Amino acid sequence: MAGTPAQARTRDYVMSQMKAWGLETEARTYDVWMPHPTEVHVWRVGQGTDTRELSLAEPPIEGDSTTTLPQYPTVNGYSGEGDVTGDIVYVNYGLIEDYAVLDSLGVSVKGSIVVARYGRSFRGIKAREAEKHGAAALLIYSDPQDDGYVRGDVYPDGPMRPAGGVQRGSILNMNGDPSTPGYGSVSGTRRTPADQMAIPHIPVVPISYGNAAELLRDVRGTAIPSTWQGGLGFRYHLGPGPVRARVVVHDDRARPTVIKQIFDTFGVIRGSEFPEEIVMIGAHRDAWGPGTADNVSGTVSVLEAARAVADALRAGKRPKRTIIFATWDAEEWGLIGSTEYVEDDSLRLMRDAVAYLNQDVAAQGPRFGGGGSPSLRATLRDIARLVPDPNGKGSVYAEWRRQAAVPDTAEPPMGDPGGGSDFAGFYNHLGIPIADWGFGGAGGVYHSQYDDYNWMARFGDPGYAYHATAAKISAAMVLRLANADVLPYDYVEYARTMRRYLPALEKSITDRKWSNVSTLAVRASIDRLEQAALAFAQTRDAALAGNPSVDVLRRTNRALLQVERSLTRLSGLRTRPWFRNLIYAADENNGYANVVFPSVTEAIRAGDAALTSRELVDLAARFESAARALGSAREPLVARR
Ligand SMILES: [Zn+2]
């Protein structure tokens, strides 16, 4: 748990391992505003004597001794404080559209304790919407339809969430320490006072579906829309009431201890030819419980890759670029460790970072998935072709294709960089190309005490072969990027990916009937990016056949680093200045979903035609400048022929 002494121990463990393998190590400490709960209670308030307190802790599971260990309170990180009582209202997933339905049915949540199910949006958005609509408190539960018995046998008979399982998690709707927005939380820095921070103000508590059933069973009032029925064994009703609840959350925000120390670690192998250029891979080291999948699996992938690259170094194979193996603290509270680091070291990263690779839940099943910037997707597919799949029937790539069931010429789909993990600071804030991958599977122990060794050994990855495979991909990815003569970004695929987004963008403009808003300039600039990328690839292949000098390569690579940096702007998105990348961003109304061309998309959503036109012109200019960067990267290679 971030902010506890345990995190100094995991820091020391990671550093001592890396030191023992011969890496240089560094730790960075940040002082972060992070209230830890001192009291969390929920009561079902009945008429007269049947008021009773719910047992919130996750009960021990027979045969799994880890579940008997002390556990962190069931609380949502950055919940507000309070002691409130009110009628219960069931709000489905607590989405913006769910509150619109409640409005249309004449059901108000003002002063109520609202109960929402997890899923379909980031929990921080659920908290924001509940507060916006006047709820007194929010309880979020995992419905059995989403990751419980409706999906499969529950733990310990199967991998799904049992009746007592709870999904903890942060409800902060920003990245990084809310008291130091946009700059590093170094010791002694100035801070936004708590009453001005962008944090939730109502108590928000995650509960099990066992407890949700106790609260929801006897709720009556308005009938639900039919799609709002979940997997609990009774008919759901909206309320309000007659069941009432009391929710109490208190924390240490009034004490000096509200500032917690967090610790990031770095293991460094210096490059031989381009030592200033950095390839970084990282994983978060904190968790809500034992965190075997989330994120011991990612941390060991990074550690094991470090060990392998260090072995190669001892055998005389020093990578050409510098590789940094990082572990982050306080990811679970809002990507805090990585964000504070990125803000603290932004100048060096903007100048020298080649790529950031992320490992968050590297292995909890047999299904490979990957994603990131379109510039790195071809490299990840290449590496997946080289690494054998644990099923023994070929490469990770072959199995990935088989499971994705894509036709012969199509590539398996890959995820866009939205939000939700430590790549955000690198990608959304600084425009550094990122990639991530991992092996997923069915499970219902996310952010629970049951995400532990026994669950992993029985259901997630018995034998740990998928852990080892994720680590092989990590080692191969960092070495491929660190040793390439010319950085292997694929800007042809990048430009083609961009072009595929245009029809949807054009449709949303047509839907607005804005006949004078045109995407022609953006379309033309993407064409030019593609042409520049094709020309670059051709020149590169020809030049590499003739052994170009290190100086030529250095000049080309320095120019290549500017291609995706060109697609950011320092002032950021109008709605969210921290988000500088203009290609992808997390959807501000969902948190997990992704928006493409966010500056333009948000202008369209705002219904502002003039702004949309200005943003389209701005975006086109940035694609033009990315194309020019590719031209500059090509020049040194042309000159030497
Ligand atoms: Zn995680």
Q: Ligand 1 center to residue 441 CA distance, Å?
A: 15
Q: Ligand 1 center to residue 298 CA distance, Å?
A: 8
Q: Judging by beta carbons within 10 Å of its beta carbon (0-12, 13-18, 19+), is residue 378 exposed, middle or buried?
A: middle
Q: What is the mean pLDDT of residues 446-472?
A: 98
Q: What is the mean pLDDT of residues 86-91?
A: 98
Residue whose structure tokens are 């992320």: 358
- Per-residue pLDDT tens over the stretch 484-538: 999 999 999 999 999 999 999 999 999 999 999 999 999 999 999 999 999 999 9
| 366, 322 contact by CB (below 8 A) | no
Mean pLDDT of the chain: 96
Residues 291 and 283: their CA atoms lie apart, in Å, by 13
Nearest to 205 by CA among 332, 79, 331: 79
Q: Ligand 1 center to residue 332 CA distance, Å?
A: 7
Q: Ligand 1 center to residue 622 CA distance, Å?
A: 33
Q: Ligand 1 center to residue 277 CA distance, Å?
A: 27
| 595, 602 contact by CB (below 8 A) | yes
Q: Ligand 1 center to residue 230 CA distance, Å?
A: 27
Q: What is the DSSP string of 282-334?
A: EEE---SSS-IIIIIIHHHHHHHHHHHHHHHHHTT---SEEEEEEEES-GGGT
What confidence tier does 640 reach under pLDDT thresholds 50, 70, 90?
Answer: low
Q: Ligand 1 center to residue 46 CA distance, Å?
A: 38
Q: Ligand 1 center to residue 447 CA distance, Å?
A: 9
Q: What is the mean pLDDT of residues 14-31?
A: 98
Residues 20 and 153: their CA atoms lie apart, in Å, by 43
CB atoms within 10 A of CB 69: 11
Residue 384: both structure tokens together:
């997946």
CB atoms within 10 A of CB 627: 24
Residues 401 and 464: their CA atoms lie apart, in Å, by 22
Q: What is the 3-state secondary structure (H, E, C) of 352-399?
A: HEEEEEECCCCECCCEEEEEECCCCHHHHHHHHHHCECCCCCCEHHHH
Portion of the chain with pLDDT greater than 90, in percent: 96
Q: What are phi and psi of 27, to 5 degrees?
A: -120, 145
Beta strand 37-45 pairing with 52-53: antiparallel
Residues 177 and 184: their CA atoms lie apart, in Å, by 8
Q: Ligand 1 center to residue 550 CA distance, Å?
A: 39
Q: Ligand 1 center to residue 176 CA distance, Å?
A: 15
Nearest to 243 by CA among 223, 214, 266, 222: 214
Kindly report the pTM of this predicted structure.
0.97
Q: What are phi and psi of 412, to 5 degrees?
A: -60, 140
Q: Ligand 1 center to residue 421 CA distance, Å?
A: 7
CA triplet 128, 129, 132: central angle to 5 degrees?
Answer: 85
Please confirm, yes or no, whether 39 is among the known catalytic residues. Answer: no
Q: Ligand 1 center to residue 17 CA distance, Å?
A: 22
Alpha carbons within 13 angstroms on the beta-carbon side of residue 1 total: 23
| 64, 213 contact by CB (below 8 A) | no
Q: What are phi and psi of 558, to 5 degrees?
A: -60, -40
Q: Which of 106-110, 307-311, 404-408, 498-502 has the lowest mean pLDDT?
A: 404-408
Q: Judging by beta carbons within 10 Å of its beta carbon (0-12, 13-18, 19+), is residue 503 exposed, middle or buried?
A: exposed
Q: What is the mean pLDDT of residues 333-347?
A: 98
Q: What is the mean pLDDT of residues 263-291?
A: 98
Secondary structure element (H or E) that encloses residue 473, with its range: helix 465-483
* pLDDT exceeds 90 at position 592: no
Residues 469 and 326: their CA atoms lie apart, in Å, by 19
* pLDDT exceeds 90 at position 290: yes
Annotated active-site residue in 331, 530, 564, 602:
331
What confidence tier does 639 reach under pLDDT thresholds 50, 70, 90?
Answer: low
What confidence tier does 46 reach under pLDDT thresholds 50, 70, 90?
Answer: confident
Q: Ligand 1 center to residue 284 CA distance, Å?
A: 7
Q: What is the mean pLDDT of residues 602-608?
A: 97
Q: Terminal CA-to-CA distance of the chain, rounded, Å? A: 57
- Per-residue pLDDT tens over the stretch 380-428: 999 999 999 999 999 999 999 999 999 888 899 999 988 789 999 999 9
Q: Ligand 1 center to residue 297 CA distance, Å?
A: 10
Q: Ligand 1 center to residue 422 CA distance, Å?
A: 9
Q: Ligand 1 center to residue 283 CA distance, Å?
A: 8
Q: What is the mean pLDDT of residues 456-475?
A: 98
Q: What is the DSSP string of 34-94?
A: -PPEEEEEEEEE-SGGG-EE---SPPPBTTBGGGGS----S-EETPPPEEEEEEEEE-TT-
Q: What is the mean pLDDT of residues 292-312?
A: 98
Res 591: pLDDT: 80
Residue 640: both structure tokens together:
């030497």
* DSSP 8-state secondary structure symbol assigned to residue 154: B
Nearest to 352 by CA among 244, 268, 277: 277
* pLDDT exceeds 80 at position 48: no
